[in-house]
Amino acid sequence: MLLLQPDDTRGLITMAEAVEATELAFRDWGKSHGLGAPRRRVHAPSGVRVSVHQGAAPSLGMTGLFTHCELVRPMAEEQVYDAIADPAYVLFDAETGALACVILGEISPAEMPDTVVMTGLRTAATSAAGTKALARAEARTVGLFGGGSQARHHLLALKAIRQIETVKVYRRNAEERRTFCEEMSQALGIEVRPVDTPREAVAGVDIVLAATNSSVPVFDGNWLEPGQHVTSIVGSNVGLVEAGFTPRKRREIDDTTLTRMDVIVVASREQVFQDRQGDLYDPIENDVISADQLLELGDVLAAGTLVRTGDQQLTLFKNNAGQGIADVAIAARVYQRARERGVGLELPVGVWSERGQMTRR
């Protein structure tokens, strides 16, 4: 069994490779729905929560899980993480069941090895896979809401799937907005410029990307223009609501955005209903949209057909929770690279047989 610590994984996978692995995992899942399960969370009274993401990526030879823990403090308009622990990936050989690898710490893209953020690589890679399936092929401009590490990873991911030339950024803090734009312009070699209002971020762009920690909608769906694609990442905080930590569910997009969409694709339909997610479950319950409108990314990729059928259509990819299939797929690629480069610590582990015999590996 190979043990990989944070320094071992730096530079082992590019964002483009992570997107490719994620697409492969979702395509596998679309062909066999037993490969994945919804993310599950447990909340301690202190506000500490632990999340577990299970999945299998048979095309990459691995199955397993990803788990992470953080101390969450809900605010009126956003969600703050006061402490974030190093996560862990556990990989098992999908053919033999043998424990193959444990990876400690977040995996970061080779292009930004020191930009480490909770579930950043997987979240951005999944958003890119959904955006690639829905946004117009000639999309070149982005309106970005957010300016943190998730936003950094997401711009890098979008650049891996489209020839992005210009990004307009809205973040509430003007100084942080300006600094983010300067940093990303230099890092990506494209125009990344701040705008003063949310409406300016939406106007005239091909892709509207919400990569925030917001708990309230970040733009008005009435502003959307024909042909635009929207990607949103805020998931669910239903556990915090039920535990009494916060009075309401999180939203990142409004009902108008949903009603205007010609196509809505989610990472997981089951996750929507398990977590009673504010951005999707509540509008379904209130007859704003119907459950039948929700397509799953895995099914879309497995079918291999275009779900956007016209350049004037409005499309939405709701990256509504991290899925274990993507975590396992990305970790499997990192494991392969580590083996090729001879990094990590080899530990003796065994496999038990039905006869109670152990084979050391």
Band of the pLDDT at 351, cuts 50, 70, 90? Answer: low
Judge if 250 and 209 occupy the same domain.
Answer: yes
Domain at 349, CATH number: 3.30.1780.10
Q: Using the 8-state DSSP alphabet, how is residue 203 labeled?
A: T
Q: Which domain holds residue 139?
A: 120-318
Same domain, 60 and 138: no
In this structure, the answer to whether residues 199 and 303 fall within a common structural domain is: yes
> Can you tell me the distance from the alpha carbon of 301 to that of 324, in angstroms, rounded to the nearest whole number?
17
Q: How far apart are CA 226 and CA 315, in angstroms?
A: 10
Nearest CA among 231, 307, 306, 319 for reference residue 268:
319
pLDDT tens for each residue of 131-158 = 999 999 999 999 999 999 999 999 999 9
| Model pLDDT, residue 353 | 61
Indicate whether 147 and 283 sit together in one domain: yes
CA distance linking residue 194 with residue 182, whole number of Å: 9
Indicate if 151 and 285 belong to the same structural domain.
yes
Output the furthest CA–CA distance in the chain (Å, rounded): 68
Number of domains in the chain: 2
**How far is residue 352's CA from residue 146's CA, in Å, rounded to a whole number?**
49
157 and 243 belong to one structural domain: yes
pLDDT of residue 173: 95
Q: Which helix (H) or strand (E) holds 153?
A: helix 149-161
Q: What is the enclosing helix (H) or strand (E) of 333?
A: helix 324-341
Q: In this structure, are 157 and 273 located in the same domain?
A: yes
The reported pTM is 0.93
Whether residues 127 and 79 fall in one domain: no
More confident residue, 47 or 296: 296
Q: Indicate if 328 and 297 belong to the same structural domain.
A: no
Of the candidates 258, 262, 210, the one whose C-alpha atom is nearest the C-alpha of residue 234 is 210
Q: What is the mean pLDDT of the chain?
A: 94
pLDDT in tens, 249-290: 899 999 999 999 999 999 999 999 999 999 999 999 999 999
- Contact (CB, 8 A) for 31 and 318: no
- CATH number for 127: 3.40.50.720
pLDDT digits (tens, 9 = 90+) for 55-91: 999 999 999 999 999 998 878 777 788 889 999 999 9
Same-domain status, 135 and 248: yes
Q: Is 312 exposed, middle or buried (0-12, 13-18, 19+ CB in 10 A)?
A: exposed
142 and 266 within one domain: yes
Neighbours of 223 (CB within 10 A): 17
Q: Do 35 and 140 share a structural domain?
A: no
